[in-house]
Amino acid sequence: MKKSSISKILLASLSILILNGCSKSNDISTSAGAQGGTTVSTPSAPSFELAYVITPLTSDIRNITFNDENGNSKTVYDWDSFPGGIIEMNVSANTFKARISVAVGNTTGHPIGFRLEIRVNGKTKQTKDFTIPTLVSYATASAEYDVQND
């Protein structure tokens, strides 16, 4: 064989070895990372117990809208969602806008009153009292509180 042929074969072989070595190197580093190499984890947000309370919960209240544990607005027309006038949820967030609103109608001959309350970890953070005058077919009332859970 000529020297140039041997050189080309050696060069080609060397190139294949280098490429295979790089490929195996990448596999090893990926594997090592998955088997306990340095992992980066973000700390989870602190959680807290959030409760919305309506006192008294009567048939005058037509619907209830509140921010759920994911911060999404949710409207319910079924009082089973608020057993005893309260709904509780666990929220994981550093900041959270707790908000509750109700639509009310009063077709009676006397004013009706109710309270909206927001509790965080069992402590009342916001309370609002409302009185709806007689013969008001539609009114809304709301309460909100910005939770800072650092």
Give 3-state DSSP helix, strand, coil % of the chain, rounded to 5: 25, 45, 25
**In this predicted model, what pLDDT tens digit does every residue of 14-72 receive, in sequence order?**
455 444 554 443 333 333 444 455 555 566 778 999 999 999 999 999 999 999 999 99
Rounded CA gap, 98 and 143, in Å?
A: 8
Question: What whole-number distance in Å separates Cα of residue 40 and Cα of residue 60?
Answer: 52
Provide the pLDDT for residue 43. 66
Tell me which of 29-38, 73-82, 86-95, 107-116 is least confident. 29-38
